[in-house]
Amino acid sequence: MHYCIGDVHGCYDEMIALIDKIKRKDQDARFYFVGDFVDRGPKVWETIEWVMNNVTLDGEFQSVQGNHEQMVMQWYIEYCEWMSKKIRLGSPPTPNYDFMDRAKERGMLDPLKLKPIMDFFVSLPFHIEVTVPGRGDTTVTYDIVHAWYNYDEPEDSAQQYFDNLWRREVNGNFDSDHVIIHGHTPTLTMMYVNKPYSSPGMIVYRRNSINIDGGCVFTAKIDDLPGHLCGICLETLEEFYSPTLEERLSFKDRVAYIRKYRTGPNPYREELLKRLPEK
């Protein structure tokens, strides 16, 4: 079956644990990441190395490009231009986050050493479409992107690419029967907290869209909200977390969280389940 995993951001240990958890249940699992492997997290370089060794365009592990990969590639262009100058004035250009620091720690600031990473990032598609069996003779199509999919734009338009990487949409997909799987906006941010049918730090469903960015990299609780690396099975909507809510919160905090945020069935998830085969 097919599984999607949310924004990793250098949370290498959680990523490996989540993959292992899913594989123990489904040895033939195929995995799709929504990008953002770099920046912020504790093991960015280990994550990069694993991804470059395992992610391909059509294999067991696939991924779309995230906006953080794009930011790193833009920095690399500016950095190469600065390094090529005979006389370098001032400090080198720096990326928005900590990629340069992590590269320096690894002795990788030579543009030639960084080039294979950039070539890999640029090879990642902006969008992957996956179709699974639906109920009866129907099918359900998922559009896997980092941020959002715009059904009013051509697949290769500049606006589509921008939306794929950057758009923050938390209200749902009202333009297509396809289901958008995305990350980009952590579900423990105020765009979700205290909104109906939101479980901060966990998978959030809206009309024909699923946000799987649980904000795992924010390991310290934000206003007592837990962050997770999230995974979901496209055939069943079974959810997987690393770490789990039980591992992230004490019993007391977990009970308080469930009482506040998990008050009943999510109607958007229930609607999607009706389109999938019965278990």
Query: 204-206 and 209-211 as β-strands: parallel, antiparallel, unpaired?
Result: antiparallel
Closest CA to 237 of 195, 200, 204: 204
- Which percentage of the chain shows pLDDT scores above 70? 98
Using DSSP's 3-state secondary structure scheme, residue 183 falls into coil
pTM above 0.85? yes
Spatial CA neighbour of 269 closest among 169, 197, 190: 197
* pLDDT tens-place string over residues 24-78: 999 999 999 999 999 999 999 999 999 999 999 999 999 999 999 999 999 999 9
Structure confidence at residue 219 (pLDDT):
73
pLDDT tens for 119-144 read 999 999 999 999 999 999 999 999 99
pLDDT of residue 221: 61
pLDDT tens sequence across 203-230: 999 999 999 999 999 876 666 688 999 9
